[in-house]
Amino acid sequence: GAVVSQHPSRVICKSGTSVKIECRSLDFQATTMFWYRQFPKKSLMLMATSNEGSKATYEQGVEKDKFLINHASLTLSTLTVTSAHPEDSSFYICSATKSGTSGDLRYFGPGTRLTVT
């Protein structure tokens, strides 16, 4: 199989604090991981593409200094929401592609629901 986990599954934080979300590929190596944001009843919006060992590529309109992405190993990528505000409250989902493949198949994590109070 190809399992992707995320931690935490839910987090509540106060406005102005930072939150780190982890995305792990449990049984495969992931050269590339993707971070999505999903608002209620909306589609998945790609925030950034994370390649192991290099800087993430951010989508237009996504603040790289606010959403820090680190992909330090082939099995772990982290998203840190810095100085969180209520408008950052959302469902954050990561996905990964297996190293050595075409990259078409995506394996999704279970998501992290962030609530900023």
Q: Which residue has the tokens 């075409």?
A: 102
Assigned token pair, 51: 């390649």
Q: Quick check: 54 binds another protein (CB under 8 A)? A: no
Query: What is the Cα–Cα distance from 43 to 63, expressed in whole angstroms?
Result: 19
Q: Quick check: 91 binds another protein (CB under 8 A)? A: yes
Query: What is the Cα–Cα distance from 28 to 20, expressed in whole angstroms?
Result: 22
Q: Quick check: 19 binds another protein (CB under 8 A)? A: no
Q: Quick check: 113 binds another protein (CB under 8 A)? A: yes
Residues near another protein (CB under 8 A) are 32, 34, 41-44, 46, 49, 57, 91, 93, 95, 102-106, 108-111, 113
